[in-house]
Structure 1
């Protein structure tokens, strides 16, 4: 509670003019105090306030306008009556489904060859191919 009060006092004092003098001290209970008048019997220090920062608002206004335009375009694309809605995504999905099926078939063939028996060198080569295909399958078919 004292910390919250101290922070709110610091905020109030920081909003005042830069000419005001702010003093900080810690009492016998360990609570931090802020005041515009120095305490008579407590050791204290003067708080140095930084000047307030100003940000030009015109950049924010332009950014807000750009975002509004982008949202409007997106709403038009996603509208149920839009002819372009998901068309590109459907084409990509169809191509991706074909590629994923191809990866599955290749992995099945490799797994069959691995089960059939092999020598050390051939087995290492087959396992390497399986790792590469599994990695490609995961990236293109499972993560997207």
Structure 2
């Protein structure tokens, strides 16, 4: 079976390589570049020199990739083990920060509700302008710090 594959490879690849050794290029009247393996007889043309394809040993690349992945996993595991105490500390800090943020957001909501009640209760012109400005400022802080951020 392997010898059949070798024969098929020889019959398919060698003619293609030998035919591809001679390439020509020429530009037509509209400025379009053409490439062919047949020498154009009536047109001005240039012969294109083809370089041999570079071969990369894939087995070596795959082996190195696996080795690098294994090293990355080992480093990650060792970092997880050494940072376990620090991670719980940062989890606690994150929880405290979350509580502070929630309290601040609840504060903004309460202030906004108080301002809304005052606006509904009635007001003078100057007092209404001040309340609307306060509502706008508190509403922006609530949006920026609690809803968007």
What does 1:102-113 align with in structure 2 at a 5 Å threshold?
102-113=107-118
Which deviates further from its counterpart, 99-108 or 34-43?
34-43
CA distance in 2, matches of 1:114, 1:77: 57
Asked if 1:130 is matched to 2:135, the reply is yes
Could you list the runs of 5+ residues in structure 2 that have no partner in the other structure?
Answer: 1-22, 49-67
**Counterpart selection for 2:120 from 105, 115, 124:** 115
Q: Number of residues paired by the alignment?
A: 102
Alignment of 1:1-144 (within 5 A): 23-25=25-27, 33-35=34-36, 39-42=40-43, 72=76, 75=80, 82-84=87-89, 86-144=91-149
Alpha-carbon deviation of 1:89? 1.3
**Larger radius of gyration between Structure 1 and Structure 2:** 2
Distance 2:99 2:35 in 1: 67
Q: Deviations over 1:100-137 (max 9, x none)?
A: 11111100110001001112222121111101100100
Alpha-carbon distance between aligned partners in 1 of 2:79 and 2:24, rounded to the nearest angstrom? 52
Q: Which runs of 5+ in 1 are unaligned?
A: 1-20, 48-63
TM-score by length of 1: 0.50
Root mean square deviation, CA, Å: 4.4
TM-score, normalized by length of structure 2? 0.49
More helix by share: 2
Distance 1:107 1:88 in 2: 29
